[in-house]
Amino acid sequence: MEHLLHNKYFAAVAYFTVTGLAMIVFLSVFELVTRYRVWQELKRGNVSVAMATGGKIFGIANIFRYSIQHHDSIGQALIWGTLGFFLLLSSYFIFEFMTPSYKIDEEIAADNRAIGFIAMVLSVGFSYVIGASLIR
């Protein structure tokens, strides 16, 4: 398999496929830990959920960008990308912990756009810090 990755076209498709599958798995994990149902809220037009979810999507993709860029194999990129995802997930719990006077999930479900925006920026911001820490 490693010799196939020397073909830049095959490598691009392989990394795209692995990252796409990881994105589906990781977004499913986020769906499990939130109190609102992402896809139902999006269908209702909840902009706060869209911002928070968009930040998570960007964050996961950005972490994988760093991981792919700085590791030599798909396996290494997947392992480091998975570690990065769990760090991003922990930032979500830290955000919830740092705001004891209200529940982040409830505010996002109620379409509080200020909280949705902060959740998005938090995911994007932490993805850069996490990604930079994945460099070998």
21-32 tens-digit pLDDT:
999 999 999 999
Is residue 1's pLDDT more than 80? no
- Among residues 56, 116, 57, 60, which one has the least CA distance to residue 83? 60
98-123 tens-digit pLDDT:
888 889 999 999 999 999 999 999 99
**Mean pLDDT for all residues in the chain:** 92
- The pLDDT, as a whole number, for residue 45 is 97
CA–CA distance, 31 with 11 (Å, rounded to integer): 30
**For range 90-100, the mean pLDDT:** 90
The whole-model pTM stands at: 0.90
